[in-house]
Amino acid sequence: MEQKILRFVELLRQNGVRVSLAEDLDSLQAVAAVGFSNPADFREALRATLVKRHIDEPTFDSLFNLYFRGLGGDLVEHLKATESALGFEDADLQNLIDALSQSVQELGVQLSELARQLLTADLGRLEQLLRQAARHVGLDAVERPFQEGRYAHMLAQHLGLSALAAELEELKKRLRGLIPSNDWEKVQKFIDLRLQDLTRAIKRLVRQELEKKEPTLRESERIDRLGEKSFYYLTEEEIRQMKEAVTKLAERLKNIVAVRKKRGKRGRFDIKDTLRKNLQYGGVPFRIEFDRRVKDKPQILVLCDVSDSVRNVSRFMLQFVYTLQDLYSRVRSFVFVSDLSEVTRLFEEQDIHAAIEQALSGQVVNVFAHSDFGRAFRIFHRDFLPAVNKKTTVIILGDARNNYNLPHEWTLKDIRQRAKQLIWLNPENRLTWGFGDSEMDRYLVYCDVVEECRNLNQLYRVIDRIVH
Amino acid sequence: MVSYASQPFSSIDEVIARFAAHKYICNRRIATVVYLASSLQKPILVEGPAGVGKTELAKVLAATVQCELIRLQCYEGLDEAKALYEWEYAKQLLYTQILKDKINEVVGGARSLREAVERIAREDNVFFSDRFILPRPLLRAITADRPTVLLVDEIDKADPEFEAFLLEVLSDFQVSVPELGTLKAKHIPLVVLTSNNAREMSDALKRRCLHLYIDFPSAAQELEIVQLKVPEIHPQLAEELVHFIQRVRQLDLKKVPSISETLDWARALVLLNAEALEQQLVEDTLNAVLKYEGDIRKAQEELKDFLSRRKTERQGRETDADKDLLH
């Protein structure tokens, strides 16, 4: 059994569940503690010791079923199918089996073990025989789907399937005279069907073994790869997954913020203050003072391009803007194409999906216009410049593709002068900046930080820096 | 010598039965983990959404095995001084001030500064002794004379550094205080750590723990819990309430109602003498379950749907009953 558990652990590892050696040992101890009498307890004992992340539980469940359930269920199912094919009720089948074995005894025929188990439907023993054969042909080694047929064939050979078929044929012939003709039809059919069941069981066994090998859900790996993929090439399904990834990143972000806040709270030992405070105790330092650092809360203004050219990107950007607004009290968000409009209220009141849908659907600004960064910046300059002060970080998300309109870079210069810093995140590859209608080169000079932000990992790094 | 607490449970079924006696309904999964924790002497890391009874599990465990519950509530910035032990600085200073004369006596005959320091050094274990140490929860759990249950609540709120420190304590059950030496546990405490998943715990910590994920209970289980904890509730109300809550949990809410909130609501409705969910009543008391305006609005829509469906169901049942009479 230990062997079996260890192999199961190996299987878990192959499927992306992290299990350490210590946990291996724990699981053996735990299984010893609960015993094998109750399968459910056995399963829970393994789960508690081996699976330490909730997201791994589905993987554990599916593998557990695959690995420990065995063939039993399938064999029963096959027998049921046979039963219904014959049009039998429960008792009828048992009667037929009893009658059949009695006739065989009367005939004095010595059946092979396999034939006997098959006809008496002793499923437990039958599975044992199958497993023995599987061990013998080394079914463990099956790895690829194309080997399925070969291994099934080897199993059949080892079990002596052709000999069995001949044996059953022979049996049928000899039974012919013994069994009343009205029952004969059914008996014959039963024997044929059982033989078919065996073939199906063999195939099922190979299939199961193969399924164990298939690395089914490598969730973590997939998300890692997703992190490196450019936003432009995402499919619908990936967009959905990406949302989950973004949420996870946001969670991490929250932690970072929390830790930083904490570090800021307690400052260094303050000698002056300590001496002053302890004058009342005659200079004996009963109370020790630390200087309290005041950390200013970040004020953020985000301008997000939602034009058609950056459609995929802006969705994630907005998701992050939304999260930022959740994290900090003083975030104002704007979206623009050629008009510019504030969405802070919208993001505050609506839940994330509804808010982003609305921002992208053209209800806030006309998203079907040609993007015009210059015009949008001028509107911002005219209406919202007073909102920018020495504590404000301004973040602009956009590709700077201006459709050859006037860039009005002087607006950025003004914003830059008033703001604490100005950050531009561009979803385009750095190499393409400044080509065609891209005005990135003009805008670049007025920004404190300019980052290419084409995938999740880059985005994460950037956000990390902003929070700093 | 470390003496292990005698095994408090002999089987999984016993865990379920004894927890039930303390009004805690636990499924087989929870019971298995508790049983394993007590027999393998391993900490349990309980994860799951807020309000599903993670903390309660530890409290009930302590009550069941009749041990003292020592609770360490984690928060941002929790450090060793707050979790393990602290020297009582002010008290030490106070003693030195009061004992000034005595100290003068000790130092009195010294001919050189070096000799004076030498003499003081000989006495310094007076000031770093049990008398001046202030034991915090972890140290208390370790040095307790009787077995204890240690609850480290909301470990995810603490910082990663603290987690690493906790690891050391949990793996060896010993603490080294530089001035006193190593303090070993007389009894290995039963440890329960809870986490709300605000942050992924480190693998090292997880490796040392048994993992338990508690999710929201099924409708049948929740009904059982409500009836156990609020026994005076009208059976029909209990059923409708649980049914409604289960549906509300399916909605996309900012904060999903937890079991404790279900119970609060049940108690509130019982106080108002309700026998079934009625529109007005629910709208007035919904803020016991939902804590955000947007959530309440969504739930109200769900409520309308729920009530109208129930109405048609009831009408259906009534017409069925009529038919039976006609026959």
Strands A331-336 and A340-342: antiparallel
CA B49 to chain A, closest CA, distance in angstroms equals 11
- CA–CA distances in Å: residue B35 to residues A30, A51, A53, A274, B3: 10, 17, 20, 53, 19
State residue B46's pLDDT score. Answer: 93
Average pLDDT, chain A: 78
CA distance A396 to A376: 11
User: Model confidence over A180-192: pLDDT tens digits?
Assistant: 777 777 788 888 8
Return the bridge partners of A334, or none.
A303, A342
The residue-averaged pLDDT of B110-134 equals 83
State residue B2's pLDDT score. Answer: 39
A22 interaction partners in chain B (CB closer than 8 Å): 207-208
Average pLDDT, chain B: 84
What confidence tier does B70 reach under pLDDT thresholds 50, 70, 90? very high
Contact A45 B32 (CB under 8 A): yes
Contact B254 A351 (CB under 8 A): yes
Instruction: Using alpha carbons, select from A62, A45, A69, A52 the residue that is nearest to residue A17.
Output: A52
CA distance A256 to A295: 15
pLDDT at B115 over 80: yes
A77-86, B232-241, B285-294, range with the lowest pLDDT: A77-86
Provide the 10 A C-beta neighbour count for residue B319: 10
Q: What is the ipTM of this complex?
A: 0.79
The residue-averaged pLDDT of A49-65 equals 83
Measure CB to CB from residue B40 to each of A30, A54, A57 and give the nearest one: A30
To which residue do tokens 């048994």 refer? Answer: B210
The answer to whether A326 faces chain B, any CB pair under 8 Å, is: no
Query: In the numeric block, which tokens belong to residue A213?
Result: 């090998």
CA distance B195 to B201: 8
Among A58-72, A81-95, B14-28, B269-283, the range of highest mean pLDDT: B14-28
**What chain B residue is nearest to A56 in terms of C-alpha separation?**
B213
The answer to whether the beta carbons of residues A17 and A217 sit under 8 Å apart is no
Contact B76 A261 (CB under 8 A): yes
pTM: 0.64
The residue-averaged pLDDT of B150-173 equals 84
State residue B166's pLDDT score. Answer: 86
Query: In the numeric block, which tokens belong to residue A84?
Result: 């219904």
Measure CB to CB from residue B28 to each of A44, A53, A254 and give the nearest one: A44
Instruction: Using alpha carbons, select from A347, A410, A344 the residue that is nearest to residue A373.
Output: A410
B76 interaction partners in chain A (CB closer than 8 Å): 258-259, 261-262
CA distance A159 to B165: 59
The answer to whether A129 faces chain B, any CB pair under 8 Å, is: no
Interface test with A, best of B41, B207, B293 (most A CBs within 10 A): B207
Query: In the numeric block, which tokens belong to residue A219?
Result: 């969730």
A251-265, A396-410, B214-228, range with the lowest pLDDT: A251-265
User: Model confidence over A418-445: pLDDT tens digits?
Assistant: 888 888 888 888 888 888 888 888 898 8
pLDDT at B1 over 50: no
B151, amino acid identity: L
Measure CB to CB from residue A265 to each of B35, B77, B252 and give the nearest one: B77
The answer to whether A289 faces chain B, any CB pair under 8 Å, is: no
The answer to whether the beta carbons of residues B153 and B53 sit under 8 Å apart is no
C-alpha dihedral sign at B139, B144, B147, B148? negative
Contact A284 B29 (CB under 8 A): no
Q: What are phi and psi of A173, to 5 degrees?
A: -55, -45
To which residue do tokens 């000079």 refer? Answer: A445
CA distance A104 to B74: 74
The answer to whether the beta carbons of residues A351 and A396 sit under 8 Å apart is no
